[in-house]
Amino acid sequence: MKIFWSYARLDDMPPRSKVSNLRKAFQIALSQTIGEKAEVFFDRDSLNWGVKWREEIERSIRNCDGFVAVVSPSYFNRKMCIYELQVAFEAGKKIFPLYYRKCKNPRSTFKEDGEEAEINKKLNKISLAIADFQMMDFRELRNEKLDSGNVLNFLDKMAEEIGGLL
pLDDT in tens, 126-162: 998 898 888 999 999 999 999 999 999 999 999 999 9
State pLDDT tens for residues 41-75.
Answer: 887 666 566 667 778 889 999 999 999 999 999 99
CB contact at 8 A, 100 and 39: no
Domain ranges for the chain: 2-161
Q: Please, which residues bridge with residue 70 across strands? A: 98
Question: Looking at residue 49, what is its pLDDT?
Answer: 62
Statement: the pTM of the whole predicted model exceeds 0.85: yes
How crowded is residue 48: how many other Cβ atoms within 10 Å of its Cβ?
7
Question: What superfamily would CATH give domain 2-161?
Answer: Toll/interleukin-1 receptor homology (TIR) domain (3.40.50.10140)
Q: What residues contact 69, with CB distance under 8 A and at least 6 apart?
A: 6, 7, 75, 81, 84, 85, 95, 96, 97, 98, 130
